[in-house]
Amino acid sequence: MGEDDSSSTFGDIVRSFRGFGQATVETVDSDIPYLVNEFWTSSQRQAHSIHEVSYRACFKPQLPEFFIERLSAPGDGVYDPFMGRGTTPVQAALMRRRPVGNDVNPLSVLFTRPRLNPPGVPEIARRLDEIDWDVDEPADPELLAFYSPKTLREIVALRRWLLERAPLDVTPDPIDDWIRMVAINRLSGHSPGFFSVYTLPPNQAVSAQAQRKINERRAQVPPDRDVKTLILRKTRSLFSDGEMSPHPPALLNTGSAHSTSTIGTASVQLVVTSPPFLDIVQYAEDNWLRSWFAGIDVSSVHIAHHRTQSAWRDMVHETLRELARIVKPGGHVAFEVGEVRNGKVLLERLVWEAAEGLPFDRLFVMVNQQEFTKTAACWGVKNNTKGTNTNRIVILQRR
């Protein structure tokens, strides 16, 4: 529904989708109605700059923006039970909705919460000036594969400061929360804007052994990086499109998507989400360096890997069962599954099956055709042959 029309019918929704861009192709496959179009741009930097933090396997902000605009109104709760870096809650806040999010990975709250309540650049600069960057504290020598001794000393000093001032079991000061979020985002990457020497893109940390091989192959030595300067530079970049919009208070949760008692019954108008796709992404391995910095025991984060389609469908069914409790009658779920295994596995069909028997009307599957992306190019992926080339979104409505 739009902001001025709370009585939109299914036909109204379909017509609004048809009216976006060029003509939408309508088809039915295996008794599932499909709408196919390029519903939103595939350009890299069309969204607000505050989204630009790296996280593996995240969708673009244009996806939740599309549904938030059409299927919710200012003040409504918008929820993602697999929020990852927080794309849906952050976009909801930018559009003056109530951000609601959950993820089993505790890093997700650390990425999301600071951007919903950001401090000002002068406050951040003053706080960074308070830190003693020259504290001599032992560090794992394995980390010298990524950082120069000077840079590692600064990282360890900042880590100790944050662990003392902003422990994970309390709601921290927003300034410390912001600094930690940016530092986690800058730990490793492939440009001088990161703390590390050249390594894989910042959404994936290799092992120290693998990094030494990269260093040998590239004949590189970790250079000195100024941690404080890079945090301020990234901060200004995140704020380059302006401030966060005023919005209702956020609710963020860490835990399983099928058990979220902190989120009220019938408290959410819209869900926009994308779950882990089978066993494609190794989240714990990718985030070991970030978890170390944040003080998270990565072995305690039990992120399930669903190695069979039936196990994955069962997970989706349990998630949808919980969403049936949370979503208001008349509210919607946009459940994105992308492409896996070169399109040989159509996960939207498993979601369609998983919704059977639950109090949802299964409306249709939207397929957003994407052009070749920068991320895909980085990994040597050719469009329409490998990787995620389309967004495939199952649209459900709560009865």
Give the model confidence (pLDDT) of 342-399 as tens digits: 667 789 999 999 999 999 999 999 988 765 444 333 323 344 444 446 789 999 999 9
Q: What's the confidence (pLDDT) of residue 395?
A: 95
Q: What's the confidence (pLDDT) of residue 141?
A: 95
Q: What's the confidence (pLDDT) of residue 281?
A: 60
Rounded distance between C-alpha atoms, residue 317 and residue 200, angstroms: 35
Q: What's the confidence (pLDDT) of residue 212?
A: 97
Q: Report yes or no on whether pTM surpasses 0.75.
A: yes
Residue 332's nearest CA partner among 378, 380, 273 is 273
Domain boundaries, the chain: 10-105+247-398, 121-238
CB atoms < 10 A from the CB of 217, how many?
8
Q: What's the confidence (pLDDT) of residue 19?
A: 55
Give me the half-sphere count of Cα atoms (radius 13 Å) on the Cβ side of residue 175.
15
Q: What's the confidence (pLDDT) of residue 59?
A: 85
At 161, give phi and psi (nearest 5°).
Answer: -55, -45
Q: What's the confidence (pLDDT) of residue 338?
A: 76
Q: What's the confidence (pLDDT) of residue 72?
A: 96
Q: Do the beta carbons of residue 278 and residue 312 sit within 8 Å?
A: yes
Q: Measure Cα distances from 25 to 35, 316, 393 in Å.
A: 6, 27, 15
**Which superfamily, per CATH, for 10-105+247-398?**
Vaccinia Virus protein VP39 (3.40.50.150)
In the sheet that 390-398 helps form, which strands lie side by side, from edge to edge? 25-29, 32-37, 360-369, 390-398, 327-336, 268-273, 77-80, 98-103, 251-254
Rounded distance between C-alpha atoms, residue 33 and residue 360, angstroms: 16
Give the model confidence (pLDDT) of 115-152 as tens digits: 999 999 999 999 999 999 988 888 999 999 999 999 99
Residue segments in the chain with a per-residue pLDDT below the cut of 70: 1-23, 41-45, 57, 202-203, 278-284, 340-343, 370-389
